[in-house]
Structure 1
């Protein structure tokens, strides 16, 4: 028993203190726009989420190949878990009228292995189902997410990285206030790095 207590104490003393980056959240906010609802991902929707990420047109600028089911599950859990640990994450986007899943948008700190890095910033991202692109949903969703973040993380830098050939996403970024600040290489590909100017 004494050995167990000693081991437990030495483990606890070796653990670094958790840095509070933001208040942890157990309830993810719901944001409503004219046509959309941004809300928490729901476990029962995972199959739809997995189908969403299988769309080849969606993956053209996000890694190229559709992810495996295992990779999609890890993404689903990561985006949900960020809310608990960091106080921000990705929202599921649904159409207000139909309840149809449109895509997702929000913020992450993924500790990407790249230089320059986005680590420590609110890295902003969005993905809209290809059949629903061109309707302004990405701009509408990310504007709502940014308005929420501005009220919660007023002093936090906001960045994003976009494939230089992804003209529609570059336009969305510029519409919501991002400006190009350079380039970064991630997984062998060059990306435009942008920062939002308030």
Structure 2
């Protein structure tokens, strides 16, 4: 005979179990995020840097929707779906590879300045490039011309080399992007080759110690 009370008890028990598991997942995610931030937080004279989070998505999407962010790129501005996918990729770097790109903020204002750091993008460039942490920097137009890219990139370089005990890091720069070429050289990178990458001439840089 069908027992309504027993069924209700079973449903209540299952629901309580599901809620308990959900609460534990939330706690686990929060603890994991706190641990990443505690370990991967960098501060310079004017900037604060940490892994990007979902809360950064509006500012992150605005940066990637700006055509100026892709002046020296094979592609144009990103839509909100592409920006979200890229944000997930950046988070994945930290969890899977133990390094990645930082979200960069002005210390005095808290404004989102851009992203700077190192990644592994499986470009299939060849030996000497593939598998080495690749330096990247993107600074939003309102904050350009203040030396933020150099300041953040230097801090990210020191953090990444120390963290990975990396003896070789690389960068790939559009041949017309003179400001990024200047930054790469200031960071100690030296040009060692060129490639045609997705339709543009790219200079390959490496830094070794």
| Residues 120-143 of structure 1, C-alpha deviations (whole Å, 9 max, x = no match) | 100110000112111110010011
Give me the whole-angstrom Cα distance separating, in 2, the residues matched to 1:79 and 1:118: 19
**Aligned residue number for residue 127 of structure 1:** 138
Query: What is the aligned residue count?
Result: 175
Give me the whole-angstrom Cα distance separating, in 2, the residues matched to 1:112 and 1:185: 12
1:160 pairs with one of 171, 180, 199: 171
**Aligned residue number for residue 43 of structure 1:** 54
Give me the whole-angstrom Cα distance separating, in 1, the residues matched to 2:74 and 2:101: 18
- Normalised by the length of structure 1, the TM-score is 0.82
| Residues 4-47 of structure 1, C-alpha deviations (whole Å, 9 max, x = no match) | xxxxxxxxxxxxxxxxxxxxx96141000000001121212201
2:117 pairs with one of 86, 100, 106: 106
1:54 pairs with one of 57, 61, 65: 65
**Aligned residue number for residue 30 of structure 1:** 41
Task: From the CA coordinates, give the structure whose radius of gyration is larger.
Answer: 2
Ranges in structure 1 where 5+ consecutive residues have no aligned partner = 1-24
Give me the whole-angstrom Cα distance separating, in 2, the residues matched to 1:67 and 1:118: 26
Distance apart, 1:149 and its partner CA: 1.4
The answer to whether the 8 A contact 2:167-2:208 is kept is: no
The answer to whether the 8 A contact 2:51-2:94 is kept is: no
1:144 pairs with one of 155, 158, 174: 155
Ranges in structure 2 where 5+ consecutive residues have no aligned partner = 1-32
Distance apart, 1:116 and its partner CA: 6.1
Larger CA deviation: 87-96 vs 46-55: 46-55
SS of match in other structure, 1:34: coil
Distance apart, 1:188 and its partner CA: 2.1
What is the root-mean-square deviation in Å for CA atoms of aligned residues? 1.8
| Residues 28-71 of structure 1, C-alpha deviations (whole Å, 9 max, x = no match) | 41000000001121212201110111111111113341022222
- If each structure's helix is expressed as a fraction of its own residues, which one has the higher value? 2
